[in-house]
Structures are given as structure tokens and as C-alpha cells.
Structure 1
């Protein structure tokens, strides 16, 4: 049920963190993986390790996003899996002070790029008669996080759940499934400062019911489930993987 042998997958944000972990997992399940991010050097190293293809693209530039899918088709073939893992927080200002350029950059990368990539893979998935799109969101798209200002970031992550539900309904007739995985806190480039001091670590421990520290690998299982036949009857959902943070 988790066998992805022969399927072509696109993973964005694959130069590090969760995107890289997802790319490795999909490759281990048999998929041929196209790695997408800005940093070609890191992409190339991982692509060599897993036998995939590196596609360098700045996804925060809407004018460049359209080049990704054609490059993947040329390198590996038509994609049947898309994992939108690229995302960033471009400002830590409080909502009343977020600069407009940072808001727009956040929207372009976190929400517009996944939509444009979904449009790009749609004809290939329709032709194949199947497909799976997984958007990586965040618990900040479901609940406010005290002490960590992120209004535009949270808006984009909530927007992914709305986009997911709508695409799932529209494209279900083509057996294209669209879901979102919403991780809680785990070590990444964005969250690195939270893991540098005992006070912030204690904050995370106190608010996470499971006595574990989240890692990128804890998120990968949900993505594998949703991309393969194990999740063939699941679409339009936002799956929260947060150690119980939002269950409190």
C-alpha cells in the first residue's frame, strides 16, 4: 500500500529540513523524485544520493513557477505526486506592523506557488487517471501561537486548507487526491531559535502532550500515507501531526 514504484514525484523545499526528508522517503518507496528549491548545490547533492533530479527555482517569484513542471517532465516524466513543502516566514513583526512586501512574499511562496504547481501537474495527473497532491501547512493555520507573531504566515497556512478542500472536490472525478499535512513544532530553519534556549524549549515541552521532541521524520509517515494507495480514499483533509498540541 506504500509502494510508489515507477511514480514521478515533485517535492518543493527539498534542499533541507522536511522537504529533504520527504524526498528521501518517497525515493525509498520507489518514486523518482524531482527536488525543487532555490539552492541548486544542495539539491544536486541530494539528487545524486537518491537518484533524483534537481530543479532549481525561486518559488517566491510567480513568474518562474511555471518552468518547474515542464523541467520535471523532461527530466523524469509526467508527475503523479506533488508535495508542496516549500514555505517560509519573511517577517516576525506583529500584525499591525507587518510590511507589505513581506506579506506579499509570504503569500507568493506559501500559497500562490502551491496553487500554480497544482495547476501545472493537473493535466499530467488527469492523463494518468490518478494523482496525489500534499500541501504542507502548519498548526498556525488552525490556532494562534502566543508569543510568536506570524499573521501573514498563518493566513497562508489556513489558506492551504481551503485550497486543498476545493481542489479535492473539483478534481475528485479524475481520481486526483488533494490533502494537507499540518505539522506542529519540529526542528527546522524557521523554528531553530526556539530550540536554542531552555526557556523556549520548556515552552514547547509544556504545551506538547506527547513527551517527545518532534522531528521532520515524524511528519514523513503522514505524507507517505497520503501519496500512496494506503490513502486512496482520503481527500480534502488537513491531517494534523503535532504531538497533541492542538488537542489541548
Structure 2
């Protein structure tokens, strides 16, 4: 039920953190994986490790998104799994001061790029007769996080859940499933400053019911489950993986 033998997958944001972990997990389950990110040197290393295909692309350049799908289809075959793990915050300003350019950049990378990638893989998935799109969101799209200003980021991640539900309903007749995984805090390149600050680390410990520090490996199980047949009757959902943060 969890095997992905021979299925072609695209993983964005694959040069580090959760994206790398997801690419490795999908490959271990048997998928042929195209890894997508800006840092070509890192992608080449990861692709060699998992016998995948590196595609260097800045997803903020929305005109390039369609090229990714074409290249994957030509080199590996039609994609039937997409994991949109690329995302970032472009400002630490409070909501009343967020620059328009930062808001726009956040929305383009975190919301518009996954939407356009879904549009471009749709014809391939429809032709195959199945597909699974997994968007990586955040608990920031569900709850406010005191002390960490991120209005545009939160809006983009909440938007992913709305997009997920709508695409799931529209494309269900083609057996294309669309879901979202919303991680809580876990240690990565981006969040390492939080864990290196004793005050911030204590804040995370105090607000996470499970007595453990999250890692990317704690998130990938949900993604692999949603990608394959074990979740064949699951679509339109946002699965929260946060150590109990939002259950408080």
C-alpha cells in the first residue's frame, strides 16, 4: 500500500530540509524523483544519491513552472506525484509594515507557483488516470504564532489549504487527489536560529505537547502516505503534523 514503484514524482524545494527528506523518502518507496530548487550544486548531489533528476529553477519565476513539467515528462515520464515543498518568508516586519514587494514575492512562491505546477501536471495525471498532489503548508496557516510576525506567509499557507480543497473537488472525477500537510515547528536550516536560542527553544518546548524535538523525518511519513495508494480515499484534506501544537 505504501509502495511507489515506477511512479514519477516532482519535489520542489528539494535542495534542503523537508524537501530533501521527502525526495529521499519517495525514492526509497520506489518512485523516480525529479528534484527542483534554485541551488543546482545541492540538487546534483541529492539527485545522485537517490538516482533522480536535478532541475534547477527559481519557482518565483512563474514563467518557468511549465518548463519543469515538460522536462520531467521528457526525462522520466509523465508525473503522477507532486510535492510542493518550496516556500519561504521574505520579511520579518509586522503586518502593518510589510512591504508590498515582500508580500507579492511570498504569494508568488508559496501559493501561485504550486497552483501553476498543479495546472501543468493536470493533463499528465488525467491521461494516466490518477495522481497525487501534496502541498506543504504550515500551522501558521491555521493559527497565529505569537512573537513571530508572518502575515503574508500565513496568508499564503492558508491559501494552500483553500486551493487544495477546491482542486480536490474539481479533479476528483479524474482520480487526482490533492492534499496538504501542515507541519509545526521542526529543526531545519531556516528554523535553526530558534533552536539555538535558549529562550526560543524553551518557548517551543513549552508549547509542543509531545516531549520531543521535531525533525523533517517526522513529517515525511504523512507525505509518503498521501502520495500512494494507502491514502486512495483521502483528498481535499489538510493533515497537521505538529506534535500537538494546534491541539492545545
Q: Give the aligned partner of residue 12 of structure 1.
A: 12
- Rounded to whole Å, the distance in 1 between the matches of 2:124 and 2:64 is 19
Number of aligned residue pairs: 248
Q: Give the aligned partner of residue 125 of structure 1.
A: 125
1:212 aligns with 2:209: no
- Rounded to whole Å, the distance in 2 between the matches of 1:153 and 1:134 is 18
Contact 1:180 1:238 in 2 (8 A): yes
Provide the TM-score with structure 1 as the length reference: 0.99
Q: Give the aligned partner of residue 23 of structure 1.
A: 23
1:87 aligns with 2:87: yes
- How far apart are residue 189 of structure 1 and its match? 2.5
Runs of 4 or more, structure 1, over 2 Å off, are none
- Rounded to whole Å, the distance in 2 between the matches of 1:55 and 1:78 is 15
Residue by residue over 1:152-205, the C-alpha shift from the partner in whole angstroms, topping out at 9 and shown as x without a partner, is 000000000000000000000000000000000001232121111111000000
| Aligned-CA RMSD value | 0.5
For structure 1, the 5+ residue unaligned runs are none
Tell me, what secondary structure is at the counterpart of 2:43?
Answer: helix
Q: Give the aligned partner of residue 182 of structure 1.
A: 182
Provide the TM-score with structure 2 as the length reference: 0.99
Residue by residue over 1:125-176, the C-alpha shift from the partner in whole angstroms, topping out at 9 and shown as x without a partner, is 0000000000000000000000000000000000000000000000000000
Q: Give the aligned partner of residue 223 of structure 2.
A: 223
The residue correspondences of 1:74-223 to structure 2 (distance < 5 A) are 74-223=74-223
For structure 2, the 5+ residue unaligned runs are none
Tell me, what secondary structure is at the counterpart of 1:67?
Answer: helix
